[in-house]
Amino acid sequence: MKNSVLAVIALLSASLFAQDVPELYSAPVKKVQVGDKRMAYKVFGKGSPLLMIAGYGSPLESWDSYVVSALSKEFTVIVFDNRGIGRSTTSNATPSIEPFAKDAADLVRTIGSEKVSVMGWSMGGYIAQEFALKYPELTGKLILLSTSCGGSESIPPSDEEISMLQNMGDPEVLLKVLFLTDWTLAHLEVAARFTGSSSQEESGEQR
């Protein structure tokens, strides 16, 4: 059964990756002066604003383009490069979560948004939590992905979870980590997005 599911997902992956690259990559970058830095960002869609904060060392294009595309159908999605990453400049200040959160708040104010839902992934989740605590007047909803509160109150991953994360190149392991089996079976096209790169690599090796 598992092999059959993976085979279907592999076929869907080939189809999905043959499509044009979504506009996340091709859309022009906007830049604004935020304090002593130039912040690079892109905006997609219409609706209530959603600020998406990427993880450590990740430029705005690190967000899955199909996720951004889907969200932009209901929200005004704002993705940006944190200071010193991608096309955003840095400053002489010592990097820490607090100034990253201030950058995000200043960006929101500069581009004219009054209140945003904030989504943070990995280190971006740390920044999003700091944003919500320090700037409640700018915060609508808080969405946290693959992150923690940090410090002594955080719950570290188990040895089994760490082992699974170290084997994310295996499509079967990847699906087990990300999705419940029943959900995978009901959403094969979505699951294919997360195994497509592995399928492509395997296809390339066979050629």
Q: Per the domain annotation, does 15 fall within a domain?
A: no
Please list the residues that pair with 78 across neighbouring strands: 43, 51
Q: Is the pLDDT of residue 202 over 60?
A: no
Please list the residues that pair with 31 across neighbouring strands: 40
Please tell me whether residues 138 and 166 are part of one structural domain.
Answer: no
Domain of residue 100, residue span: 30-152
Domain of residue 52, CATH code: 3.40.50.1820
**39, two tokens:** 């912040």
Please tell me whether residues 165 and 143 are part of one structural domain.
Answer: no
What's the total number of domains in the chain? 2
Q: Among 100-104, 118-122, 200-204, whose mean pLDDT is lowest?
A: 200-204
**28-67 burial by CB neighbour count: b if 16+ within 10 A, else e?**
eeeeeebeebebbbbbbbeeebbbbbbbeebbbbbbeeee
Q: Is the pLDDT of residue 204 over 80?
A: no
Characterize the bridge pairing of strands 37-44 and 75-80.
antiparallel
Q: Is the pLDDT of residue 77 over 90?
A: yes
Q: Which whole number is the average pLDDT over 56-62?
A: 90
Please tell me whether residues 105 and 56 are part of one structural domain.
Answer: yes
Please tell me whether residues 116 and 133 are part of one structural domain.
Answer: yes
Q: How confident is the model at residue 194 (pLDDT cuts 50, 70, 90)?
A: low
Please tell me whether residues 42 and 63 are part of one structural domain.
Answer: yes
Characterize the bridge pairing of strands 75-80 and 48-53.
parallel
Q: Which whole number is the average pLDDT over 46-61?
A: 93
Q: Among 33-47, 103-117, 123-137, 153-167, whose mean pLDDT is lowest?
A: 153-167
**2, two tokens:** 């598992």
**76, two tokens:** 């005004």
Q: In the predicted model, what is the mean pLDDT of the chain?
A: 80
Q: Is the pLDDT of residue 201 over 70?
A: no
* pLDDT tens-digit readout, 3-52: 444 444 343 343 333 344 457 778 889 999 988 889 999 999 999 999 99
Please tell me whether residues 120 and 188 are part of one structural domain.
Answer: no
**118, two tokens:** 């904030």
Please tell me whether residues 136 and 48 are part of one structural domain.
Answer: yes
Q: Per the domain annotation, does 203 fall within a domain?
A: no
